[in-house]
Amino acid sequence: MTEYKIALLGFGGVNRALAQLVAEKNELWAEELGFTLKIVGVSDIFLGSVIGKDGLDPKKLVAVPAAKGAFSALENGSAEPANETVIRFSGADIVAEATFTNPVDGEPATTFCRWALEKGISVVTTNKGPVALHAAALKKLATSTGAAFEFEGAVMSGTPVIRMAQETLAGSEITGFKGILNGTSNFILSSMQAGLDFSNALAKAQDLGYAEADPTADVEGHDVRLKVVILANELLGAKLTPNDVCCEGISKITAEDIQSAARADSRWKLIGSAQRTPSGTVTASVSPQLLPNTDALAGVSGATNAVSFETNLLGPVTVVGAGAGRIETAYALLSDIISIHKNKIKQAI
Protein backbone atom coordinates (compact mmCIF):
# COMPACT_ATOMS: atom_id res chain seq x y z
CA MET A 1 0.00 0.00 0.00
CA THR A 2 1.39 3.38 -0.97
CA GLU A 3 1.59 5.93 1.82
CA TYR A 4 2.20 9.58 1.00
CA LYS A 5 3.73 11.74 3.69
CA ILE A 6 2.18 15.18 3.52
CA ALA A 7 3.14 18.50 5.07
CA LEU A 8 0.42 21.10 5.55
CA LEU A 9 1.21 24.79 5.08
CA GLY A 10 -1.53 26.93 6.55
CA PHE A 11 -3.94 25.34 9.00
CA GLY A 12 -7.04 27.47 8.55
CA GLY A 13 -10.25 25.97 7.20
CA VAL A 14 -8.86 24.03 4.22
CA ASN A 15 -5.93 22.05 5.62
CA ARG A 16 -7.81 21.50 8.89
CA ALA A 17 -10.56 19.94 6.77
CA LEU A 18 -7.94 17.82 4.95
CA ALA A 19 -6.65 16.60 8.34
CA GLN A 20 -10.25 15.75 9.26
CA LEU A 21 -10.61 13.75 6.04
CA VAL A 22 -7.33 11.94 6.77
CA ALA A 23 -8.65 11.08 10.25
CA GLU A 24 -11.93 9.75 8.89
CA LYS A 25 -11.16 8.30 5.48
CA ASN A 26 -7.68 6.77 5.31
CA GLU A 27 -9.11 3.24 5.39
CA LEU A 28 -11.59 4.03 2.64
CA TRP A 29 -8.86 5.64 0.54
CA ALA A 30 -6.66 2.56 0.99
CA GLU A 31 -9.46 0.45 -0.44
CA GLU A 32 -10.75 2.80 -3.15
CA LEU A 33 -7.72 4.85 -4.15
CA GLY A 34 -4.80 2.58 -3.31
CA PHE A 35 -3.01 4.96 -0.96
CA THR A 36 -3.16 6.49 2.49
CA LEU A 37 -1.94 9.86 3.74
CA LYS A 38 0.28 10.49 6.75
CA ILE A 39 0.67 14.05 8.04
CA VAL A 40 4.33 14.65 8.98
CA GLY A 41 4.40 18.41 9.51
CA VAL A 42 2.22 21.48 9.80
CA SER A 43 3.08 25.17 9.83
CA ASP A 44 0.66 28.03 10.31
CA ILE A 45 1.37 31.74 10.73
CA PHE A 46 -1.03 31.97 13.70
CA LEU A 47 -0.93 28.52 15.35
CA GLY A 48 2.80 27.76 15.03
CA SER A 49 4.33 24.53 13.78
CA VAL A 50 4.82 20.87 14.55
CA ILE A 51 6.81 18.06 12.92
CA GLY A 52 6.29 14.34 13.50
CA LYS A 53 8.24 12.26 10.99
CA ASP A 54 6.45 9.10 12.12
CA GLY A 55 3.08 10.75 11.62
CA LEU A 56 1.03 13.26 13.57
CA ASP A 57 -2.35 12.18 14.92
CA PRO A 58 -4.84 13.93 12.57
CA LYS A 59 -7.55 13.86 15.25
CA LYS A 60 -5.29 15.75 17.66
CA LEU A 61 -4.48 18.29 14.94
CA VAL A 62 -8.15 18.85 14.16
CA ALA A 63 -8.84 19.39 17.87
CA VAL A 64 -6.20 22.15 18.20
CA PRO A 65 -8.05 25.35 19.15
CA ALA A 66 -7.83 28.38 16.84
CA ALA A 67 -5.67 30.24 19.37
CA LYS A 68 -2.35 32.01 18.79
CA GLY A 69 0.58 29.60 19.23
CA ALA A 70 -1.73 26.64 19.95
CA PHE A 71 0.61 24.10 18.32
CA SER A 72 3.03 24.63 21.23
CA ALA A 73 0.75 22.42 23.33
CA LEU A 74 1.48 19.42 21.04
CA GLU A 75 4.47 17.10 21.48
CA ASN A 76 7.41 18.68 19.55
CA GLY A 77 5.15 21.66 18.77
CA SER A 78 6.17 25.31 18.64
CA ALA A 79 4.26 28.57 18.85
CA GLU A 80 6.31 29.84 15.87
CA PRO A 81 5.58 29.03 12.22
CA ALA A 82 8.40 27.12 10.50
CA ASN A 83 7.44 26.81 6.85
CA GLU A 84 10.94 26.20 5.53
CA THR A 85 11.79 23.58 8.15
CA VAL A 86 8.49 21.78 7.63
CA ILE A 87 8.99 21.76 3.85
CA ARG A 88 12.63 20.73 3.85
CA PHE A 89 12.98 18.54 6.96
CA SER A 90 9.67 16.83 7.75
CA GLY A 91 10.33 14.10 5.18
CA ALA A 92 7.20 15.04 3.21
CA ASP A 93 6.62 13.66 -0.31
CA ILE A 94 3.86 16.20 -0.92
CA VAL A 95 3.29 19.71 0.43
CA ALA A 96 -0.36 20.83 0.70
CA GLU A 97 -0.14 24.59 0.43
CA ALA A 98 -3.22 26.49 1.65
CA THR A 99 -1.89 29.74 3.06
CA PHE A 100 -3.58 33.07 2.33
CA THR A 101 -3.80 34.41 -1.22
CA ASN A 102 -1.65 37.43 -1.93
CA PRO A 103 -2.94 38.78 -5.27
CA VAL A 104 -0.06 41.22 -5.78
CA ASP A 105 3.03 39.01 -5.87
CA GLY A 106 1.74 35.63 -4.70
CA GLU A 107 4.11 35.66 -1.72
CA PRO A 108 5.04 34.05 0.59
CA ALA A 109 3.14 31.10 -0.89
CA THR A 110 5.15 31.13 -4.14
CA THR A 111 8.40 30.83 -2.19
CA PHE A 112 6.93 27.92 -0.22
CA CYS A 113 6.04 26.17 -3.50
CA ARG A 114 9.52 26.86 -4.87
CA TRP A 115 11.28 25.48 -1.77
CA ALA A 116 9.32 22.25 -2.09
CA LEU A 117 9.64 21.86 -5.86
CA GLU A 118 13.39 22.58 -5.82
CA LYS A 119 13.77 19.60 -3.51
CA GLY A 120 11.66 17.37 -5.77
CA ILE A 121 8.72 17.50 -3.34
CA SER A 122 5.36 17.75 -5.11
CA VAL A 123 3.01 20.63 -4.32
CA VAL A 124 -0.78 20.63 -4.26
CA THR A 125 -2.25 24.06 -3.67
CA THR A 126 -5.58 25.83 -3.45
CA ASN A 127 -3.86 29.19 -3.51
CA LYS A 128 -4.69 31.42 -6.48
CA GLY A 129 -1.72 33.78 -6.02
CA PRO A 130 1.14 31.47 -7.02
CA VAL A 131 -0.93 29.91 -9.82
CA ALA A 132 -2.27 33.12 -11.40
CA LEU A 133 1.07 34.91 -11.17
CA HIS A 134 3.77 32.23 -11.41
CA ALA A 135 2.28 29.01 -12.81
CA ALA A 136 4.61 28.82 -15.82
CA ALA A 137 7.79 29.16 -13.72
CA LEU A 138 6.56 26.77 -11.03
CA LYS A 139 5.53 24.14 -13.60
CA LYS A 140 8.94 24.42 -15.28
CA LEU A 141 10.68 24.02 -11.91
CA ALA A 142 8.51 20.99 -11.09
CA THR A 143 9.38 19.36 -14.41
CA SER A 144 13.09 19.95 -13.83
CA THR A 145 13.06 18.12 -10.47
CA GLY A 146 10.52 15.42 -11.32
CA ALA A 147 7.94 16.84 -8.91
CA ALA A 148 4.29 17.66 -9.60
CA PHE A 149 2.62 21.06 -9.25
CA GLU A 150 -1.17 20.63 -9.05
CA PHE A 151 -3.75 23.32 -8.33
CA GLU A 152 -7.29 22.12 -9.08
CA GLY A 153 -8.59 23.92 -5.99
CA ALA A 154 -7.47 27.35 -7.20
CA VAL A 155 -10.71 27.58 -9.23
CA MET A 156 -14.11 26.32 -8.01
CA SER A 157 -12.67 24.43 -5.02
CA GLY A 158 -13.01 20.67 -5.56
CA THR A 159 -15.45 20.91 -8.46
CA PRO A 160 -13.46 19.51 -11.39
CA VAL A 161 -12.82 22.34 -13.81
CA ILE A 162 -9.16 22.63 -14.74
CA ARG A 163 -8.38 18.93 -14.97
CA MET A 164 -11.75 18.17 -16.55
CA ALA A 165 -11.17 20.74 -19.28
CA GLN A 166 -7.57 19.65 -19.85
CA GLU A 167 -8.13 15.91 -19.75
CA THR A 168 -11.78 15.03 -20.34
CA LEU A 169 -12.45 17.83 -22.85
CA ALA A 170 -9.07 17.44 -24.57
CA GLY A 171 -9.54 17.84 -28.32
CA SER A 172 -12.92 19.57 -28.00
CA GLU A 173 -11.27 22.91 -28.94
CA ILE A 174 -12.21 25.20 -26.10
CA THR A 175 -12.51 28.73 -27.47
CA GLY A 176 -13.70 30.53 -24.36
CA PHE A 177 -15.62 30.34 -21.11
CA LYS A 178 -17.92 32.37 -18.93
CA GLY A 179 -18.66 31.62 -15.32
CA ILE A 180 -19.81 32.46 -11.84
CA LEU A 181 -16.50 31.99 -10.11
CA ASN A 182 -16.93 33.58 -6.68
CA GLY A 183 -19.14 31.93 -4.07
CA THR A 184 -19.23 34.90 -1.71
CA SER A 185 -20.47 37.41 -4.28
CA ASN A 186 -23.02 34.96 -5.68
CA PHE A 187 -24.19 34.22 -2.14
CA ILE A 188 -24.55 37.96 -1.49
CA LEU A 189 -26.49 38.57 -4.72
CA SER A 190 -28.80 35.60 -4.02
CA SER A 191 -29.31 36.69 -0.39
CA MET A 192 -30.11 40.25 -1.49
CA GLN A 193 -32.68 38.82 -3.87
CA ALA A 194 -34.23 37.08 -0.85
CA GLY A 195 -34.35 40.42 1.01
CA LEU A 196 -31.14 40.40 3.11
CA ASP A 197 -28.97 43.52 3.02
CA PHE A 198 -25.44 43.52 1.60
CA SER A 199 -23.50 43.61 4.89
CA ASN A 200 -25.57 40.90 6.60
CA ALA A 201 -25.20 38.67 3.56
CA LEU A 202 -21.43 39.23 3.54
CA ALA A 203 -21.19 38.46 7.28
CA LYS A 204 -23.07 35.21 6.67
CA ALA A 205 -20.71 34.26 3.81
CA GLN A 206 -17.75 34.93 6.13
CA ASP A 207 -19.28 32.72 8.86
CA LEU A 208 -19.73 29.92 6.36
CA GLY A 209 -16.05 30.12 5.39
CA TYR A 210 -16.59 31.21 1.78
CA ALA A 211 -15.04 34.67 1.93
CA GLU A 212 -11.36 35.53 1.51
CA ALA A 213 -9.40 36.81 4.53
CA ASP A 214 -10.01 40.25 3.00
CA PRO A 215 -13.52 40.05 1.51
CA THR A 216 -12.85 43.10 -0.67
CA ALA A 217 -11.30 40.61 -3.08
CA ASP A 218 -14.65 38.79 -3.27
CA VAL A 219 -16.98 41.76 -3.69
CA GLU A 220 -14.75 43.83 -6.00
CA GLY A 221 -14.11 40.98 -8.43
CA HIS A 222 -10.38 40.63 -7.72
CA ASP A 223 -10.79 36.98 -6.71
CA VAL A 224 -12.64 36.23 -9.96
CA ARG A 225 -9.96 38.09 -11.92
CA LEU A 226 -7.28 35.71 -10.60
CA LYS A 227 -9.46 32.71 -11.50
CA VAL A 228 -10.09 34.07 -15.00
CA VAL A 229 -6.32 34.49 -15.47
CA ILE A 230 -5.75 30.91 -14.31
CA LEU A 231 -8.43 29.44 -16.62
CA ALA A 232 -7.43 31.57 -19.60
CA ASN A 233 -3.75 30.67 -19.23
CA GLU A 234 -4.32 26.98 -18.53
CA LEU A 235 -7.13 26.29 -20.99
CA LEU A 236 -6.79 28.89 -23.76
CA GLY A 237 -2.99 29.05 -23.85
CA ALA A 238 -3.02 32.75 -22.90
CA LYS A 239 -0.28 34.55 -21.04
CA LEU A 240 -2.48 36.97 -19.12
CA THR A 241 -1.62 38.80 -15.93
CA PRO A 242 -4.33 40.24 -13.66
CA ASN A 243 -3.67 43.72 -15.09
CA ASP A 244 -4.78 42.47 -18.51
CA VAL A 245 -8.30 41.76 -17.19
CA CYS A 246 -10.83 44.62 -16.81
CA CYS A 247 -12.49 44.14 -13.47
CA GLU A 248 -15.62 45.46 -11.79
CA GLY A 249 -17.27 43.90 -8.73
CA ILE A 250 -20.74 43.91 -7.19
CA SER A 251 -20.36 46.61 -4.55
CA LYS A 252 -22.32 49.16 -6.61
CA ILE A 253 -25.32 46.87 -7.09
CA THR A 254 -28.20 48.08 -4.93
CA ALA A 255 -31.25 46.32 -3.51
CA GLU A 256 -33.30 48.33 -6.04
CA ASP A 257 -31.16 47.00 -8.94
CA ILE A 258 -31.85 43.46 -7.73
CA GLN A 259 -35.59 44.03 -7.39
CA SER A 260 -35.96 45.73 -10.77
CA ALA A 261 -34.01 42.88 -12.40
CA ALA A 262 -36.44 40.40 -10.81
CA ARG A 263 -39.40 42.37 -12.22
CA ALA A 264 -37.78 41.99 -15.66
CA ASP A 265 -37.31 38.21 -15.22
CA SER A 266 -33.57 38.56 -14.92
CA ARG A 267 -30.78 38.41 -12.34
CA TRP A 268 -27.49 40.16 -11.70
CA LYS A 269 -24.51 37.81 -11.69
CA LEU A 270 -20.79 38.50 -11.37
CA ILE A 271 -19.38 36.97 -14.55
CA GLY A 272 -15.75 36.17 -15.32
CA SER A 273 -15.10 35.34 -18.94
CA ALA A 274 -12.43 34.94 -21.61
CA GLN A 275 -12.50 34.34 -25.36
CA ARG A 276 -9.90 33.45 -27.92
CA THR A 277 -10.32 35.72 -30.95
CA PRO A 278 -9.83 34.35 -34.50
CA SER A 279 -6.38 36.00 -34.53
CA GLY A 280 -5.42 33.90 -31.49
CA THR A 281 -5.32 36.62 -28.85
CA VAL A 282 -7.29 36.10 -25.66
CA THR A 283 -9.45 38.80 -24.10
CA ALA A 284 -10.89 38.50 -20.60
CA SER A 285 -13.06 40.49 -18.22
CA VAL A 286 -14.91 40.46 -14.90
CA SER A 287 -18.14 42.41 -14.50
CA PRO A 288 -21.68 42.22 -13.12
CA GLN A 289 -24.05 41.20 -15.90
CA LEU A 290 -27.82 41.18 -16.09
CA LEU A 291 -28.77 37.68 -17.27
CA PRO A 292 -32.27 36.67 -18.36
CA ASN A 293 -33.70 33.92 -16.15
CA THR A 294 -33.48 31.60 -19.17
CA ASP A 295 -29.65 31.76 -19.09
CA ALA A 296 -28.19 28.59 -17.49
CA LEU A 297 -26.00 30.72 -15.21
CA ALA A 298 -28.95 32.79 -13.92
CA GLY A 299 -30.30 29.79 -12.01
CA VAL A 300 -27.05 29.20 -10.13
CA SER A 301 -27.70 30.51 -6.61
CA GLY A 302 -26.05 30.78 -3.23
CA ALA A 303 -22.35 29.96 -2.95
CA THR A 304 -22.56 27.59 -5.92
CA ASN A 305 -20.29 28.32 -8.88
CA ALA A 306 -20.59 27.37 -12.54
CA VAL A 307 -18.55 27.68 -15.66
CA SER A 308 -19.66 27.21 -19.27
CA PHE A 309 -16.92 26.26 -21.69
CA GLU A 310 -17.47 27.12 -25.32
CA THR A 311 -16.13 24.28 -27.44
CA ASN A 312 -16.02 23.84 -31.21
CA LEU A 313 -16.92 20.15 -31.20
CA LEU A 314 -19.45 19.93 -28.37
CA GLY A 315 -20.95 23.40 -28.12
CA PRO A 316 -21.29 24.76 -24.61
CA VAL A 317 -20.40 22.47 -21.71
CA THR A 318 -21.40 23.70 -18.25
CA VAL A 319 -20.06 22.49 -14.92
CA VAL A 320 -21.99 23.50 -11.79
CA GLY A 321 -20.75 22.84 -8.27
CA ALA A 322 -19.19 24.06 -5.08
CA GLY A 323 -16.86 27.01 -5.49
CA ALA A 324 -15.78 27.41 -1.90
CA GLY A 325 -16.05 25.77 1.50
CA ARG A 326 -13.63 23.96 3.76
CA ILE A 327 -14.29 20.30 2.95
CA GLU A 328 -15.03 21.14 -0.70
CA THR A 329 -11.64 22.83 -1.07
CA ALA A 330 -9.85 20.10 0.91
CA TYR A 331 -11.33 17.66 -1.60
CA ALA A 332 -9.48 19.58 -4.34
CA LEU A 333 -6.20 18.78 -2.55
CA LEU A 334 -7.21 15.12 -2.41
CA SER A 335 -8.06 15.16 -6.13
CA ASP A 336 -4.60 16.59 -6.85
CA ILE A 337 -2.98 13.83 -4.79
CA ILE A 338 -5.06 11.23 -6.66
CA SER A 339 -3.75 12.68 -9.92
CA ILE A 340 -0.15 12.50 -8.64
CA HIS A 341 -0.74 8.90 -7.58
CA LYS A 342 -2.18 7.89 -10.97
CA ASN A 343 0.72 9.49 -12.82
CA LYS A 344 3.17 7.71 -10.55
CA ILE A 345 1.51 4.37 -11.34
CA LYS A 346 1.57 5.15 -15.10
CA GLN A 347 5.28 6.00 -14.94
CA ALA A 348 6.01 2.75 -13.11
CA ILE A 349 4.40 0.65 -15.87
* Catalytic residue ranges: 227
Site size for ligand HSE (CB under 6 A): 10
| For ligand HSE, the closer CB: 101 or 311 | 101
183 binds ligand HSE (CB under 6 A): yes
219 binds ligand HSE (CB under 6 A): no
Tell me the C-alpha distance between 335 and 329, whole Å: 10
- According to CB under 6 A, which residues from 322 to 341 bind ligand HSE? 323-324
| For ligand HSE, the closer CB: 58 or 129 | 129
| Nearest distance in Å: CB 101, ligand HSE | 8
Tell me the C-alpha distance between 147 and 134, whole Å: 16
Q: Which of 125, 182, 285, 304 binds ligand HSE (CB under 6 A)?
A: 182
- According to CB under 6 A, which residues from 280 to 309 bind ligand HSE? none
Q: Which of 44, 97, 150, 212 binds ligand HSE (CB under 6 A)?
A: 212
| For ligand HSE, the closer CB: 90 or 157 | 157
| Nearest distance in Å: CB 337, ligand HSE | 19
Q: Which residue stretch of 46-54, 117-125, 204-212, 245-253 sits at the interface with ligand HSE (rule: CB under 6 A)?
A: 204-212
Tell me the C-alpha distance between 37 and 35, whole Å: 7
| For ligand HSE, the closer CB: 44 or 220 | 220
Q: Which of 90, 184, 191, 233 binds ligand HSE (CB under 6 A)?
A: 184
Binding site for ligand HSE (CB under 6 A): 182-184, 210-212, 218, 223, 323-324
